[in-house]
Amino acid sequence: MNTDSRTAGRGVERGWVISLLSGAIDWAAFASHLLARTAERLRADAAELFLRDLQDGDLVLEAVHKLDASRAGFLRFKRGEGVTGSALEHPGGLVIADRKKHPAARHPENFSATPLPSMMVVWLGENEGTTGMLVLYREGVGSFKDADLAEANLAAKQLEVMLDFGAVVSSFTPHQAVRHIENQRDARNFRGKMVAPGQCLGTLSIHRHESAADILEHERMASRADAADTALFDRALARARVELSHDRAELRRLIPEAAVMLFDAHEMMLQDDQFAAKIRRAIGSGMGVAQAIGETAAEYIHLFESSQHESVREKARDIEDLALRLLDNLPDDARSADFERGRILVARELRPSEIVRIARASVGGVVLCSGGATAHIALLLKSLGIPAMIARSADVMQLADGLPALLNATDGLLLVNPADDVKNVFLQRADKISSPPEPLPAGGVFTRDGARVTTLANVNLLSEVRPILDLRADGIGLYRTEIAYLVRDNFPSENELAELYKNFLGSTRSIPVTVRTLDAGSDKFIDYLHSTREDNPALGLRSIRLTLRHPEILRHQIRALLRAAAGRDNVKLMFPMVSSLDEFRAAKSIYEKCRLEIEDETSLPCGFKIGMMVELPAAAELAPAFAREADFFSIGTNDFIQYMLAIDRSNAGVMEYYTPHAPSVLRALKRVASAARDAGIDCSVCGEMGHDPLFIPFFLGIGIRTLSVEVASLSTVHRVASSVTIPECEAYANALLAANTINETQTLLRDFSSQ
Ligand code: PEP
Ligand code: MG
């Protein structure tokens, strides 16, 4: 073990770390122990440790010393709330000699629980903002003084190093907390934000190339001595074309949804005679080839960047990428980066063309600097399963090439030069992680008393289908079709969609599949579709409203799916966010027209069962009427909660109001389930409540027998469902449904979880 002498006490804590590692104590005990030691050292009579919530930046109580522990995990302060929240404005810390006299100390939650008179609050973490707070209270040995701050800050620093160390080696994954790690003598650690989940151990490969814009500017200003030779350019152009078509084919194999999006603009520009002719003219006037490429690209970039439309401005990045591809294909160009198998690539930014090379080389992980990951790049890295994070500090670029490092992208942590014991723990854990999760039982999932629970998976990408088959899920309960629209700059054509769906359905080996039509808008913003940002996009032109406003979009999608599904009987179709029967009928009538057309065109009978997502209070209210016209219901609880409670599902600032256990939500869910049962149609749940161990029994208790969850949660459904009986679930659901307040349902959930 690395007993770094700068972190005093680490040697002493070794026993605790080992206990944590071996599982003899848990994270909470470890954190409480460290807090107690820190409090003793600072002669505090009581203490609290707060860590910041990654989502909303609130300070959440993590551990206490000699105070009421039941508030841990629940007590939270926003910036400016109470002394703890106010301390966010004071990097050096805050001392309050007599809390009774201090206005900020009158936060009722805090004061009633800790009536000690003197208080001191110091930050955990410094340069990049605090990652938590150490709060100390005194009664007996005299009030805290400003002079105590220096020692407290030092102790907080050491506490933080130990906490981080513990977080890394324990099985605790600190999703809720951002923890900053101090640079150590031989080890440096960087915090960041996850782009794509996963972890890897490897050596760093620092991609220190200038940004694309800098390279082009450089070429433009200082021409290489290369000849003004159009033949050179023509050769580069021809090579770039071949390369592009290879990259595209590769991408089609790796991420079919993105294949069209990535190099569309590149291909267009390469076909664009004006672009090439302009470069040739510049060469003809005596300019070096590289300079002519840089010069022409700069003109186009300027043109695109001055557009009012974001989607056109984004095209400027494509031109940069394409110009670099041309430059790369000039003789003697040494700019191409070497991406190597298993290495952790650290780069300021990544260009789309580099993504394919990264995938081809099986790079182990990616660390980007902030601003270096566009939404598209993030999505691609995720789809490729390459762990990636955005580092908060650009200092990562200063690291030496070849250093050993551990990237835990899921928790936003890069450990450079990790100690041997940390590496060993990682490897042991990686073994566990990489060993595939247990497949579901071959005969299906059953409750203890023998009720069959149909366990389906939600899918966004084609690449997710394979694991679903391997895990023996009963089918796909929700295929979100947005990705093909989101990763592009313009509409996919009917043919492109048909090809994508054919690929998708082909890969499902005929397990049941429910496809949802385009659910664009709100959090799934598609810029070429939405010409203006709406003030309230969640209440605006989204989902089925949008596609009914532009029926061609719906027609293309449905026709493409009908064509792709010809000869299959495993496909169902559903419409999202249906708010009225009128809307549902309008969508069904478009479907019916498409069905007749395709039947006519192919001379084959075709058609799907047609269902709807129940995501709105309006749909719950009218559920019995809908159940007479829909073949099935799928409850999208993510939106259902949002609209029932008028709470923005993606606004971290109001997350505490996003309460799935609100009695109104639970009772409305029950009404929907009953309406489906009375009409004899299937009703499943495909929102995130469906994989919550506290709600799975509730759903079973209200008669729902089909849950569709993310692949990673299939085993949770199995574990929970197979541990309960239906009468137990019914009793639990009834108790929840009888409660009138969120507090009561919260208590019932808590009691259930502690059973
Ligand atoms: C839902 O709203 O619960 C749902 C499954 O749809 P999405 O999350 O894609 O909006
Ligand atoms: Mg939804």
**Each residue's pLDDT tens digit, 663-682:** 999 999 999 999 999 999 99
Which has the minimum average pLDDT: 27-41, 325-339, 611-625?
A: 325-339
Confidence band, pLDDT 50/70/90 cuts, at residue 592: very high
Verify whether ligand 1 is closer than 6 Å to residue 521 (CB atom).
no
Ligand 1 atom closest to Cα of residue 638: 3
- In this predicted structure, the answer to whether residue 171 has a pLDDT above a threshold of 50 is no
Q: What is the pLDDT of residue 6?
A: 27
Verify whether ligand 1 is closer than 6 Å to residue 637 (CB atom).
yes
Ligand 1 atom closest to Cα of residue 686: 5
CA distance 256 to 383: 10
Give the CA angle between residues 372, 239, 245 to the nearest 5°. 65
Verify whether ligand 1 is closer than 6 Å to residue 519 (CB atom).
yes
Q: What is the mean pLDDT of residues 265-288?
A: 81
Confidence band, pLDDT 50/70/90 cuts, at residue 495: very high
Verify whether ligand 1 is closer than 6 Å to residue 690 (CB atom).
no
The answer to whether 590 and 558 are in contact (CB under 8 A) is yes
Confidence band, pLDDT 50/70/90 cuts, at residue 186: very low
Q: Phi first, then psi: give them for residue 233, nearest 5 degrees.
A: -65, -45
- In this predicted structure, the answer to whether residue 16 has a pLDDT above a threshold of 70 is no
The token pair at 671 is 């009404």
Confidence band, pLDDT 50/70/90 cuts, at residue 589: very high
Q: What is the pLDDT of residue 84?
A: 84
Helices 149-169 + 10-22 axis angle, to 10: 30
**Through-space distance between the first and last CA atoms of the chain, rounded to whole angstroms:** 38
Q: Phi first, then psi: give them for residue 92, nearest 5 degrees.
A: -80, -10
- In this predicted structure, the answer to whether residue 269 has a pLDDT above a threshold of 50 is yes
The answer to whether 591 and 599 are in contact (CB under 8 A) is no
Question: Which residue's alpha carbon is at the smallest distance from atom 4 of ligand 1?
Answer: 636
Q: What is the pLDDT of residue 439?
A: 93
Q: What's the mean per-residue pLDDT of the chain?
A: 82
Q: What is the mean pLDDT of residues 721-750?
A: 96
Verify whether ligand 1 is closer than 6 Å to residue 480 (CB atom).
yes
Question: Which residue's alpha carbon is at the smallest distance from atom 8 of ligand 1?
Answer: 638
As to burial, measured by CB atoms within 10 angstroms (0-12 exposed, 13-18 middle, 19+ buried), residue 543 is: buried
The answer to whether 261 and 376 are in contact (CB under 8 A) is yes
- In this predicted structure, the answer to whether residue 109 has a pLDDT above a threshold of 60 is no
Q: What is the mean pLDDT of residues 626-645?
A: 97
Q: Domains of the chain (ranges plus CATH)?
A: 3-187 (3.30.450.40), 192-208+338-434 (3.50.30.10), 212-328 (1.10.274.10), 445-753 (3.20.20.60)
Which has the minimum average pLDDT: 2-6, 21-25, 583-587?
A: 2-6
- In this predicted structure, the answer to whether residue 653 has a pLDDT above a threshold of 80 is no
- Percentage of the chain with pLDDT > 70? 81
The DSSP bridge partners found for residue 571 are 513
**What separation in Å is there between the alpha carbon of 353 and the centre of ligand 2?**
33
CA distance 122 to 238: 62
- Could you tell me the CA-to-CA distances from 218 to 213, 350, 354, 542 in Å, in that order? 9, 19, 20, 44
Name the helix (H) or strand (E) containing 405.
strand 404-408
The answer to whether 230 and 288 are in contact (CB under 8 A) is no
Question: Mean pLDDT: which of 350-364, 520-534, 705-719 is highest?
Answer: 705-719
Confidence band, pLDDT 50/70/90 cuts, at residue 539: very high
The DSSP bridge partners found for residue 617 are none
CA distance 312 to 685: 39
The token pair at 89 is 């404005």
As to burial, measured by CB atoms within 10 angstroms (0-12 exposed, 13-18 middle, 19+ buried), residue 495 is: exposed
More confident residue, 454 or 438: 454
CA distance 485 to 338: 32
CA distance 135 to 137: 7
List, for residues 119-146, the tens digit of each pLDDT value.
899 988 655 567 789 999 988 667 888 8
In 3-state terms, what secondary structure has residue 118?
A: strand
CA distance 669 to 672: 5
Verify whether ligand 1 is closer than 6 Å to residue 472 (CB atom).
no
CA distance 675 to 696: 19
How many other CB atoms are found less than 10 A from the CB of residue 106? 13
Q: Phi first, then psi: give them for residue 185, nearest 5 degrees.
A: -60, -50
Q: Which amino acid is at 218?
A: H
DSSP state of 105: G
Confidence band, pLDDT 50/70/90 cuts, at residue 727: very high
The answer to whether 52 and 59 are in contact (CB under 8 A) is yes
Question: Which residue's alpha carbon is at the smallest distance from atom 6 of ligand 1?
Answer: 636
The answer to whether 401 and 206 are in contact (CB under 8 A) is yes
Ligand 1 atom closest to Cα of residue 642: 2
Q: Which amino acid is at 13?
A: E
- In this predicted structure, the answer to whether residue 652 has a pLDDT above a threshold of 90 is no
Q: What is the mean pLDDT of residues 91-119?
A: 68
Which has the minimum average pLDDT: 102-106, 289-293, 508-512?
A: 102-106
More confident residue, 70 or 712: 712
Residue among 486, 613, 635 whose CB has most ligand 1 atoms within 8 A, to mutate: 613
Is the sign of the CA dihedral 160, 162, 165, 167 positive or negative? negative
Verify whether ligand 1 is closer than 6 Å to residue 483 (CB atom).
no
Helices 230-254 + 352-360 axis angle, to 10: 60
Residue among 459, 483, 638, 658 whose CB has most ligand 1 atoms within 8 A, to mutate: 638
Residue appearing with tokens 């309230």: 536
Closest CA to 624 of 675, 557, 567: 675
Q: What is the pLDDT of residue 165?
A: 63
The token pair at 432 is 């566990």
CA distance 254 to 381: 11
**What separation in Å is there between the alpha carbon of 660 and the centre of ligand 1?**
14
Confidence band, pLDDT 50/70/90 cuts, at residue 402: confident
- In this predicted structure, the answer to whether residue 683 has a pLDDT above a threshold of 90 is yes
Closest CA to 739 of 660, 657, 662: 662
Confidence band, pLDDT 50/70/90 cuts, at residue 485: confident
Q: What is the pLDDT of residue 163?
A: 75
Which has the minimum average pLDDT: 265-279, 291-305, 650-664, 691-705?
A: 265-279
Residue 372: half-sphere exposure toward Cβ, Cα within 13 Å? 31
Q: What is the pLDDT of residue 693?
A: 94
Confidence band, pLDDT 50/70/90 cuts, at residue 450: very high
List, for residues 191-225, the tens digit of each pLDDT value.
877 788 888 888 998 886 666 677 777 666 665 55
Q: What is the pLDDT of residue 11?
A: 36
Verify whether ligand 1 is closer than 6 Å to residue 638 (CB atom).
yes
Verify whether ligand 1 is closer than 6 Å to residue 482 (CB atom).
no
The answer to whether 463 and 385 are in contact (CB under 8 A) is yes
Q: Phi first, then psi: give them for residue 328, nearest 5 degrees.
A: -60, -25
In 3-state terms, what secondary structure has residue 573?
A: strand
Residue appearing with tokens 């080389």: 361
In 3-state terms, what secondary structure has residue 536?
A: coil
How many other CB atoms are found less than 10 A from the CB of residue 716? 18
Tell me how far the alpha carbon of residue 202 is from its chain's centroid. 23
**What separation in Å is there between the alpha carbon of 465 and the centre of ligand 2?**
21
Closest CA to 517 of 597, 598, 612: 612
Q: What is the pLDDT of residue 12?
A: 37
- In this predicted structure, the answer to whether residue 3 has a pLDDT above a threshold of 90 is no
As to burial, measured by CB atoms within 10 angstroms (0-12 exposed, 13-18 middle, 19+ buried), residue 607 is: middle
Q: What is the pLDDT of residue 22?
A: 52
Q: What is the pLDDT of residue 453?
A: 98
Burial 277-311 (b: 16+ CB within 10 A, else e): ebbbebbeeebbbbbbbbbbbbebbeebeeeeeee
CA distance 129 to 553: 46
The Cα diameter of the chain in Å comes to 91
CA distance 157 to 132: 11
Q: What is the pLDDT of residue 58?
A: 80
The token pair at 526 is 């598609």
The answer to whether 348 and 368 are in contact (CB under 8 A) is yes
Ligand 1 atom closest to Cα of residue 640: 2
Which has the minimum average pLDDT: 108-117, 378-387, 434-443, 569-578?
A: 108-117
Q: Which amino acid is at 456?
A: L
Closest CA to 109 of 70, 162, 164, 63: 70
CA distance 187 to 417: 5
Q: What is the pLDDT of residue 265?
A: 66
Give the CA angle between residues 280, 293, 367 to the nearest 5°. 155
As to burial, measured by CB atoms within 10 angstroms (0-12 exposed, 13-18 middle, 19+ buried), residue 753 is: exposed
The token pair at 620 is 């719950």
